[in-house]
Amino acid sequence: MTEPATADPAPPASDTGPIRLTVIIASVREGRLGPVVATWFTERATAHDDVVVRVVDLRAYPLPLVMPEPGHAPPPDAARVRRLLAGQLAEADAFVVVTPEYNHTVPAALKNAIDWFHEEWAAKPVGFVSYGGLSGGLRAVEHLRQIFAELHTVSVRDSVSFHNAWDRFDERGRPLNPQDCEGAAKVLLDQLTWWGRVLRRARSERPYGT
């Protein structure tokens, strides 16, 4: 099942409840392919055992590039967006970032959104679904592994990538060769749910200090 994004925090998941997976659409450009890829992956995740999916589209959370100085509050509009997005991230047990590659690295909107938060990411697993040209977005994924490591987020080894992605989906948004990607999605989800369950239990037993 899929949870719509909401401003109202849901109660924390119990140690035995389903894993709360937040799928993040990283690209905010016009004409982006991100929602197509995210929709496909969300369907795979929804069908996985014991997973509740929430989609967070960064285009709906426009955070400014200039952050306030330590100890200073952001402007009211930025504070409202930050509060809403913080709630979405804090409730997650695991993340999947759906990202393209811009100039061999991470989209600016994604890096900015990551930098606005800290403890919301900590001691949780993150996986990656990337897309692009010949590289399939994998250079962005390699950079994201380093970035998330600084935030004490555990990146799982396996990922899903779509090379020459604009030729990989039909007009309905379905992969033309599902056998090439559905197996990879299952492996990614298996790893995420294992880490999500283990780390959620650990956080419940002892708060993580960063």
CA distance 117 to 137: 24
pLDDT at 133 (0 to 100): 95
CATH for 199: 3.40.50.360
The answer as to whether 71 is a domain residue is yes
pLDDT at 15 (0 to 100): 64
- pTM of the entire structure? 0.90
The answer as to whether 210 is a domain residue is no
Residue span of the structural domain in which 111 resides: 2-9+17-205
Which amino acid belongs to residue 29?
R
Residue 52's H or E segment, with its range, is strand 51-57
pLDDT tens digit string along 79-136? 999 999 999 999 999 999 999 999 999 999 999 999 999 999 999 999 999 999 999 9
pLDDT tens digit string along 33-89? 999 999 999 999 999 988 999 999 999 999 999 887 777 788 888 899 999 999 999
The answer as to whether 30 is a domain residue is yes
Burial of 64 (0-12, 13-18, 19+ CB in 10 A): middle
Domain count, the chain: 1
pLDDT at 10 (0 to 100): 41
pLDDT at 210 (0 to 100): 57
